[in-house]
A and B are shown apart, each in its own frame.
Chain A
Amino acid sequence: MQSEAPSAVTSRPVYAPIIIDSCSDNDVFICENLMSEQMQSLYLKSKCPAKTALCITSDDTDIAVDGVAEKPIKFQKISDFLGSLPSLVKPMTLRSRVYLEGSEPFMWRLYGMFLAQGMVAEQINMQSPVSNKRSLFCTHCFSVTDDVTTTVAPCSGCGRLLHVSDHFSKRHAAYFCYQVNAEDPNDVPQVQELT
């Protein structure tokens, strides 16, 4: 068993501090669950003529936020939000901006949805992820396993024990993973917390 990862490919996204773009004509703020104080202050800083706050949360938490003038619009699931996306982006232009907050897989899934609507990367801003949860892309069965915080971790599709690489796929919003013990399935390496 190799103690080191055979590939040291690193393509982890880097999250720079967000600065509100004062030229924008339409700002959309989307949070996974509750809006953090940091995001609230960004929302308040935006002087954009059209701005919208959205929260996507899977429970019944009240999402009302002090100081944010209008109550954010709440969606129970990303799939509900997807249905309303075309009407949300219809008035947006090349000048508009999106601000995202949440876990890394959440933000990059939304990133992919906005790209499909014609937005370009420079229009999409992301906060540092709120958790170390990763989604894994299994290079053997192509399944995506969500909410993983350790390497190694079992694939939800094929059950193989996966090494979690730092090679992030923007398209899949997940990290590429490969079987850690392909030579000897009895070789079960130590589980480590991901950072």
Chain B
Amino acid sequence: MSADKIQVKVTRIVDVAPKIKEFTLVGVNRTLPEFSPGSHVMVEMQGQEKTYRNAYSLLNDALDSSEYRIAVRLQDESRGGSVYMHQSVKEGDVLSVTPPMNLFAPLWHAKKHLIFAGGVGITPFMSYIPEFLRQGVNCELHYMFRGLQTGAYQEVLQQELKTTLFIYDADKEQRCDIKEVLKCQPLGTHVYICGPEKLVEGVEQAAIELGIPLSVIHSEAFAAPKPGTPFKVEIKSTGQVVQVGEQDTMLEALETAGLAIPNLCRAGVCGQCSCAVEQGDLDHRDNYLSDSEKSLGAMVMPCVSRANSERIILDI
């Protein structure tokens, strides 16, 4: 990891939904750094065969950093991180985390915050809401999930938001009419989305159809890097060839090969891991590069992106 690691002890693990476990972490012989609403930490997990690094939002009120709480959903298409957290991590274990980083802070000047959360995508908003309540700013949450799998924290949200919480359980055939919700939002509203890509796209599409400027729409696609076809990366400066396996990200493979690539989010958002590309057909999966940069193919974000060709050459 690029930032200094912090050793934390897992003091409590609770089930907060059928497929979501909440972990409480406290610093080992140190106090934890303070954080702002919307922050996340990267958790490093020492698996048997490899090291997993996953980003998790901090759930607690940002006024209290005596402990960190994170929620982990057992992912259906997991590359191992969430399975490791669910099955191998026990109370009393020590893990490494990065200091908190914030790539999804709310717009503090907004007159109203309108939130769409899908499943475990509720997590970054858990730290927003106490601060919104303290500031007395208008906040409306539309929370969509499958009750047989996710849907954590409904009670606490109900207590906090009361009539401005709207719950949709797809397992009970409850659906959110996103367009209807967006239609009459007053000036000064900012819209936040966290959840599956389909939700992000759905809200953006509805906004476009309604003529709502995309500059008021903010999203955090929490999708972890997806597996893909194996390929080889050649390092131009040394000639070294690194194999990227089906379940590895390019960044993980480079790190395992001893190459230190700066990184922050490991989710294709921050742009820190950007590598120059000498040659190769790329499968861009990040949200950092623009469409024209992607089609140019001169840069790649190895934390999420892959190759379409068998081999690519990185100019690093």
> Would B184 and A118 count as touching, CB distance under 8 A?
no
Q: A95-B210, A118-B111 are in contact. Are A89 and B187 (CB under 8 A)?
A: yes
User: Is A184 an interface residue when CB atoms closer than 8 A count as contact?
Assistant: no
Q: Specify which of B110, B111, B182, B187 is in contact with A96 (CB 8 Å cutoff).
A: B187
**A24-B211 in contact (CB<8A):** yes
Q: Which residues of B contact A123 (CB under 8 A)?
A: 213
Asked whether B209 lies within 8 Å of A94 as measured between CB atoms, the reply is no
**Alpha-carbon gap, A89 to B211, bound state (A):** 17
Q: Does B215 lie at the interface of the complex (its beta carbon under 8 Å from any beta carbon of A)?
A: yes
When C-beta atoms are compared, the residue in chain A nearest to B215 turns out to be: A120
Q: Which of A21, A89, A119, A122 gathers most chain B CB within 10 Å?
A: A122
Q: Flag whether A9 is at the interface (Cβ < 8 A).
A: no
Tell whether, in the assembled complex, residue A121 and residue B215 are in contact, meaning their CB atoms are under 8 Å apart: yes
The residue that A93 contacts in the complex, of B110, B184, B209, with Cβ under 8 A, is: B184
Which residues of A sit under 8 angstroms from B216, Cβ to Cβ?
Answer: 94, 120
Q: For chain A residues 12-59, which have a beta carbon within 8 Å of chain B?
A: 21-24
Give the contacting residue for A118; candidates B182, B186, B209; CB below 8 A.
B186
- Judging by beta carbons under 8 Å apart, are B210 and A120 in contact? no
CA distance A62 to B300 in the complex (A): 62
Q: Determine whether B31 belongs to the interface, using a CB cutoff of 8 Å to chain A.
A: no
8 Å CB contacts to B: which residues of A70-114?
89, 92-97
Within 8 A of A (CB), among B84-132: 110-111
Decide: A117 near B187, CB < 8 A? Known: A23-B209, A95-B210: yes
Look across to chain B and name the residue whose beta carbon is closest to the beta carbon of A95.
B211
User: Is residue B212 contacting chain A, with contact meaning CB distance below 8 A?
Assistant: yes
CB pair B183–A118 under 8 Å, yes or no, is no
Cβ of A118: which chain B residues have Cβ within 8 Å of it? 110-111, 186-189
Question: Is the CB–CB distance between A94 and B215 below 8 Å?
Answer: no
For residue B229, CB closer than 8 A to chain A, the reply is no
The 0/1 profile, CB within 8 Å of A marked 1, for residues 212-231 of chain B is 11011000000000000000
Q: Does B256 contact A (CB under 8 A)?
A: no
Alpha-carbon distance between A93 and B210 when the two chains are bound, in angstroms: 11
Bound-state CA distance A3–B189 (Å) is: 49
Known: A94-B187, A117-B187, A120-B215. 17 other contacts (CB 8 A): A21-B211, A23-B209, A89-B187, A92-B186, A93-B183, A93-B184, A93-B187, A94-B182, A94-B186, A94-B212, A94-B216, A95-B183, A95-B211, A118-B186, A119-B187, A122-B213, A122-B215
| 6 nearest CB pairs, A to B | A118-B188, A23-B211, A122-B213, A118-B187, A94-B212, A118-B111
